[in-house]
């Protein structure tokens, strides 16, 4: 299939749910790629806001954190600028500018095709992969990080803010692995591993599909899909914004999961 060009309406906005074919691709392969889903003006706002926070031009709202790359933390490299030393910005929920991403109209429309009418955000990040650091993300399943179930009620979203190519360390996925179980995750045996990055040993790397994405391209993926990313060998930043969502009929051992912590109800734009 064409991996997901959504038709644009007259205003140039993508306001369509997923096609049958796209829904089927998600069901069969565990992901669907939607080209050009997020408009350039939104991406520009998210990029600028990210830079304001990491460069210290704006105070961080409650819970938001800037994570330094492990090579910087361990003193293995001296980053040429602050943003060269940042691995991710996490917990975007209390910043209305960055968290507007979670309710981007085209994204909400697409998510409704998978999660139904009512859904909630569980976590949010900007992933910054600077040139010059190891920056690899081991192959893993995101379900490891969530307590809500079932897995089919959770979807991850990853939108490129800057180009993600094979050279700059795009995502790599193992199609169809979402049909398996949640596997054992461990700290990889690498010299430099960023905080909280666990991986699965023994994955079939020959079956990897590298998902190259241009700004605005958006990947929707199942939380059992095995995925990861490589080192940025280019001289440009690779940057993406990501949110995970859960359907309203999911359950958790924490009965109040929908109103707890940073979880937010996502309302479709009017
Ligand atoms: O941005 C990356 O390189 C990895 C992101 C990822 O693995 C995730 O969103 O689960």
Of the candidates 170, 249, 245, the residue with the CA atom closest to the CA atom of residue 211: 170
Instruction: Check pLDDT > 60 for residue 56.
Output: yes
For the CA of 129, the closest atom of ligand 1 is 3
pLDDT at 124: 98
For the CA of 228, the closest atom of ligand 1 is 7
Which is more confidently placed, 174 or 188?
A: 174
Residue whose Cα lies nearest atom 6 of ligand 1: it is 228
Q: How far is the CA of 228 from the centre of ligand 1 (A)?
A: 6
Instruction: Check pLDDT > 80 for residue 66.
Output: yes
In the structure, what pLDDT confidence band is assigned to residue 9 with cuts at 50, 70 and 90?
A: very low
Best residue among 171, 226, 244 to mutate for probing ligand 1's pocket (most ligand atoms within 8 Å of CB) is: 171
pLDDT digit string (tens) for 188-223?
877 777 777 888 988 999 999 999 999 999 999 999
- Cβ–ligand 1 distance for 121 under 6 Å, the answer no
Domain boundaries, the chain: 20-266
- Cβ–ligand 1 distance for 242 under 6 Å, the answer yes
Best residue among 242, 243, 244, 245 to mutate for probing ligand 1's pocket (most ligand atoms within 8 Å of CB) is: 242
pLDDT at 269: 63
For the CA of 142, the closest atom of ligand 1 is 10
pLDDT at 70: 85
Q: How far is the CA of 153 from the centre of ligand 1 (A)?
A: 19
Instruction: Check pLDDT > 70 for residue 139.
Output: yes
Q: How far is the CA of 137 from the centre of ligand 1 (A)?
A: 7
Instruction: Check pLDDT > 60 for residue 48.
Output: yes
Domain 20-266 has CATH 2.60.120.620: yes
pLDDT at 74: 86
pLDDT at 242: 98
pLDDT at 15: 58
State pTM to two decimals: 0.93
In the structure, what pLDDT confidence band is assigned to residue 225 with cuts at 50, 70 and 90?
A: very high
- Cβ–ligand 1 distance for 146 under 6 Å, the answer no
pLDDT at 181: 96
pLDDT digit string (tens) for 242-252?
999 999 999 99
pLDDT at 131: 95
pLDDT digit string (tens) for 116-131?
999 999 999 999 999 9
């Amino acid at each position: 299939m064409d991996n997901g060009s959504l038709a644009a309406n007259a205003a140039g906005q993508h306001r369509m749910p997923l096609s049958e074919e796209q829904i089927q691709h998600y069901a069969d392969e565990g992901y669907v790629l939607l080209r050009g889903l997020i408009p350039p003006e939104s991406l520009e706002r998210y990029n600028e806001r990210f830079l304001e926070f990491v460069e210290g031009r704006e105070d961080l709202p409650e819970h938001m954190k800037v994570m330094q790359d492990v090579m910087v933390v361990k003193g293995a490299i001296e980053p040429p600028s602050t943003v060269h030393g940042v691995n991710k910005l996490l917990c975007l929920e209390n910043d209305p500018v960055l968290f507007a991403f979670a309710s981007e109209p085209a994204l909400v429309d697409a998510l409704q095709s998978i999660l139904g009418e009512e859904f909630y955000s569980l976590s949010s990040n900007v992933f910054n992969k600077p040139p010059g650091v190891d920056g690899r993300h081991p192959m893993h399943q995101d379900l490891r990080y969530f307590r809500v179930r079932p897995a089919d009620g959770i979807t991850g979203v990853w939108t490129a803010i800057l180009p993600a190519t094979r050279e700059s360390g795009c995502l790599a996925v193992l199609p169809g692995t979402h049909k398996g179980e949640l596997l054992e995750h461990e700290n990889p045996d690498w010299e430099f591993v960023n905080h909280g990055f666990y991986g699965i040993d023994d994955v079939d790397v020959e079956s990897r599909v590298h998902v190259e994405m241009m700004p605005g391209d958006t990947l929707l993926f199942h939380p059992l899909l095995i995925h990861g990313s490589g080192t940025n060998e280019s001289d440009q930043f690779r940057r993406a914004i990501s949110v995970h969502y859960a359907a309203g009929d999911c359950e958790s051992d924490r009965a109040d999961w929908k109103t707890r912590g940073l979880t937010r109800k996502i309302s479709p734009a009017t």
